[in-house]
Amino acid sequence: MQRIEIWLCHHDDARDRRLAILMRALRRANVAVHLRTIRPKHAGVASRSPDNALCWQRRDDVRARIRILAAGAVDVIGPWMSEIEALARSLRHARAVAVATPFARPRVRLGELEIDLMQREAWRLGRPLGLVQREFELLHCLALHPGRPQTREALLWSVWGVGFDPGTNVVQVHVSRLRAKLDRDFDWQMLRTVRGVGYALVARPRAPGAGLTGAAGMPILSGASRLAVAPGGHFAPDRLAPRGETRHAHAR
């Protein structure tokens, strides 16, 4: 599990409910958080953590935020931003720390895939993929959640830092380019499209009846079953719908 530090402007910020929610979300992404407090006697965080300081600011205070950034922090997050933005910024910081720290898992291995975080290169079965920057960041983001679909919105946040719908197909275009390099000339696809959900990176071919998993580890796809809709609009995965009555997501 990767570890990052989040520096608190005030000691009692550690009891902030929204910070606790963020830390739980990061743990689900295999990122552990160590909380530290900026002491008033320090001019800033630069003297303690020059390159890896991610700060939590309780209030939306622009002047205080500027001082924190000027002191050496790489980013400032807080409850005044949306939870998904705080998570995306934290995950981006975690990736930067992993690349900058030689001993923090410099390589990621997922089945036939190997990713070098230091050199920003990737191989499948030893064959170099030749990825450009955005393709590499997209692959790394998906590899952090093996088998778990990532939504278009989550990828926009994590890879492009965009918190709104730009009205373009930039994600689809880069996924298509990445898939061409990752899966071309191989027997099976590692990069899957989950209709109505997003995209997922898998480590092995899908076995009959197997499916991808959601954020809570529950299966969301199945090649052998169909989902029925129960009264009230809820999905009832234990009931089979007659063929043709429902559409169900599947990977291709």
Residues contacting 215, CB < 8 A, separation 6+ = 28, 148
| Edge-first strand listing for the sheet containing 198-201 | 150-151, 198-201, 191-194
Residue 210: inside a domain: no
* Separation of alpha carbons 225 and 209, rounded Å: 8
0.85 cut: is pTM over it? Answer: no
Q: Residue 196 — φ and ψ, nearest 5°?
A: 80, 0
Report how far residue 53's alpha carbon sits from residue 225's, in angstroms, rounded to the nearest whole number: 47
Total count of domains within the chain: 2
The pLDDT of residue 61 is: 87
Instruction: Answer yes or no: is 84 within a domain.
Output: yes
Could you tell me the CATH number of the domain that includes residue 158?
Answer: 1.10.10.10
Distance of CA 213 to the CA centre of its chain: 15
Listing DSSP states for 218-230 in one string gives -B---SS---EEP
* 238 found inside a domain: no
Give me the tens of pLDDT residue by residue for the chain, a chain 252 residues long.
677 888 887 777 778 888 888 988 888 887 878 787 775 544 444 444 444 578 998 888 898 888 888 877 889 999 999 999 999 999 888 888 776 655 545 788 899 999 987 788 999 999 999 999 899 999 998 998 899 999 998 888 888 877 777 788 999 999 999 999 999 989 999 999 999 999 999 998 876 555 555 443 444 443 333 333 333 333 333 333 333 433 333 444
Other C-beta atoms lying within 10 Å of the C-beta of residue 107: 12
End residue of a domain, out of 83, 100, 117: 100
Domain endpoint, select from 66, 100, 134: 100
State which residues form the domain around 172.
Answer: 107-201
Indicate if 68 and 114 belong to the same structural domain: no
Same domain, 112 and 76: no
End position of a domain, from candidates 100, 123, 144: 100
Judge whether 240 lies within some domain: no
Radius of gyration of the chain (CA): 20
Cα separations in angstroms, 208 against 8, 134, 224, 244: 48, 33, 7, 21
CATH no. for residue 33?
3.40.50.2300
